[in-house]
Amino acid sequence: MLSPIIPHNLNAQACLLFDWGQVPYSQAWEIQQKLVQERRENPDLPDVLILLEHPPVYTLGLGSKLEFLKFDPDRTQPELHRVERGGEVTYHCPGQLVGYPILNLRRHLQDLHWYLRQLEEVLLGVLEVCGLKGSRVAGMTGVWVDGCKVGAIGIKVSRWITMHGFALNVCPDLAGFGQIVPCGIPDRPVGSLQQFIPGIEVDRVRAIVIAEFARVFGVEIVRSSESIDRWCVTLNIPAES
């Protein structure tokens, strides 16, 4: 049930995969910005998918309301970043698999609604492979299982180059979500795959996410050997934070 096959399509565009472990949010953010900048300057560069986990961190979308924080950011110390994606406040932590697609939508479809639905389709496909029935909620972005939101999506698109992306709660400690109103939705609980599949781990889900991303976007995944340390040296950012 948890052994996906990445489809092979000789006509598919290549998509580089950076499959990393736990990466501080600020590092991943800088790397995304660099990748986007490179693709603005040279649109022929291949698409990229970054998969990783983050240490505990809260992020606010560009227009997020501070009223959705249950802590005072001036008095307490949770790591908090306001970034350029859409959406409200969310929480990242180990056990949550985060995907950052850097795609040139000119190769796919220049339609933001379509792109959001495609990301949802990736997550819905992952849930199906895992034996779970996921669903959408009308008027909201993300995926749910039995009324619990297990997958969140927040994106930024500039000159049709994407950044930010999706977060799938596999087996995280959900306590951190109690410090916010996740995604600004007060009446729907956050959940995880672990609630429905005891013992499931992130590494078992990675391969499924990769396969479903390749299927939904019709790309050929090419695994990159570039490490996070190499990027830290290139961008002159600390290897740890």
* Catalytic positions, written as ranges: 183
Nearest 5°: phi and psi at 174? -80, 0
Q: Dump the DSSP string for 148-204.
A: EEEEEEEEEEETTEEEEEEEEESS--GGGGGGB-GGG-TTS-B--GGGTSTT--HHH
Residues 6+ apart with CB under 8 A from 33: 163
3-class secondary structure, 141: coil
226: left (phi over 0), alpha (psi -120 to 50) or beta: beta
Residue 118 CA to residue 69 CA, distance in Å, equals 29
